Amino acid sequence: MTTTSRIALVTGGAGGIGRAICARLAADGYTVVLADLEPDAAAAELGAVPQVLDVTDPLSRRAAVARADELGDTDLLVNCAGVLRDARIGKLEAGLFRRLTEINLLGPLALTRLVAPGMARRGRGAIVNLASRAWLGTFGSTAYSTAKGGLVGATRSLALELGGAGITVNAVAPGFVDTPMTDALPPKIRRRTLDAIPVGRAGTPEDVAGAVAYLAGAGYVTGQVLVACGGRSIGDPHVA
Ligand SMILES: NC(=O)c1ccc[n+]([C@@H]2O[C@H](COP(=O)([O-])OP(=O)(O)OC[C@H]3O[C@@H](n4cnc5c(N)ncnc54)[C@H](O)[C@@H]3O)[C@@H](O)[C@H]2O)c1
C-alpha cells in the first residue's frame, strides 16, 4: 500500500483508547499505522495499516517506524501503548518497576528518537504522549505514576529541544477511562473513583481521542499536558 497522505503512527492502537485515537485520526484524514502486540483485528475493523510492535524491543520499534515511513511522511507519533499493573511499595519488585518503566516511558522515548529526524528534515511533526492523571500521585501505583511523571518531564524537555525543528511535543493525561485497562479494578475502588469525578462519569476513549486530535494539529501549542479527567485533578466535588 502506497499513499501520499499524512501518516500517523499510533502505538497501543488495539487498546481501548488507542482504537478511538486511530478512528479519530483516520476521520481527520491521516493514514493510520495501528501498532500493537496484536494489531490485526483492530486494524481490519478500522481500516488502518496493521503493524506488530513491542515497544520494548529495539528491532520491533525500528520496523514500525520504517513501515510508517514507507507509506509517506510520518507527521504524527502517538505514544499510547501502556500497562497499569502495579503494586504497593512493599510488593513492588524491581522487575515490575523496570517493566512498567520500559513500556510506559522508555518505549515512547526510543520511538521519539526514531521519528524525530524525519520530522526535523521536513520541518514539521507532532508527538503526543499518553501520560495519566496518575502522574500527580495515585495510591498503590508508584511505578505507574513514576513512569507517567517521567513522560511528562520528557514531554516538556523534548518540546524545548525539538521546537526549533518544527516538532511539537505534548501529552494528554486522562483520568479514569472505561477500557480493558480499568475493567480489572475491584468494584469498590471503581465506585469510589467515579464518585470523585466532578462531571459525574468515567471518561470515554473518544473523550481522550478528541484531546489527542487537538494536540496533533495545534501547531503553536507545545510542551503542554492536557488533563482530560472530568475535573478530578482539581479536587473532590464532595469535599468543601
Ligand atoms: N484507561 C484509563 O483510565 C487510562 C487513564 C490514564 C492513562 N491511560 C493511558 O492510556 C493509554 C491507553 O490505555 P488503555 O486504557 O487504552 O489501555 P488498554 O489496556 O486498553 O490498551 C493498552 C494497549 O497497549 C498495548 N501494549 C501493552 N504493552 C505493549 C508493548 N510492550 N508494546 C506494544 N503495545 C503494548 C496493549 O496490547 C493494548 O492494546 C496507556 O498509556 C494508559 O497508561 C489510560
Nearest ligand 1 atom, CA 54? 32
Residues ≥6 apart with Cβ < 8 Å to 182: 84, 176, 190, 202
Q: Would you kindly state where each structural domain of the chain is located, as residue ranges?
A: 6-228
Distance of CA 240 from the midpoint of ligand 1 (Å): 34
What pLDDT is stored for residue 1 in this prediction?
Answer: 47
| 220 is an active site residue | no
Nearest ligand 1 atom, CA 18? 16
Report which of 52, 35, 44, 27 is spatially closest to residue 108, judged by C-alpha positions: 35
Is the pTM of the predicted complex or chain greater than 0.95?
A: yes
Q: What is the mean pLDDT of residues 182-209?
A: 93
Encode pLDDT of 51-68 as tens digits.
999 999 999 999 999 999
| Angle (deg, nearest 10), helices 142-162 and 94-101 | 30
- Distance of alpha carbon 26 from alpha carbon 125, whole angstroms: 17
User: Is residue 3 predicted with pLDDT exceeding 70?
Assistant: no
User: Is residue 199 predicted with pLDDT exceeding 80?
Assistant: yes
Distance of CA 182 from the midpoint of ligand 1 (Å): 10
User: Is residue 193 predicted with pLDDT exceeding 80?
Assistant: yes
Distance of CA 172 from the midpoint of ligand 1 (Å): 13
> Hunting for cell 469510589 — which residue is that?
192
Q: Are 35 and 13 in contact (CB under 8 A)?
A: yes
Topology (CATH) of 6-228: Rossmann fold (3.40.50)
Encode pLDDT of 120-161 as tens digits.
999 999 999 999 999 999 999 999 999 999 999 999 999 999
Task: For ligand 1, pick from 10, 17, 22, 182 the residue to mutate: most ligand atoms within 8 Å of CB.
Answer: 17
Encode pLDDT of 60-110 as tens digits.
999 999 999 999 999 999 999 999 988 999 999 999 999 999 999 999 999
Using CB distances shorter than 6 Å, the residues near ligand 1 are 11-12, 14-18, 36-37, 53-56, 80-84, 103, 130, 132, 174, 176-177, 179-182
| Angle (deg, nearest 10), helices 58-71 and 107-122 | 30
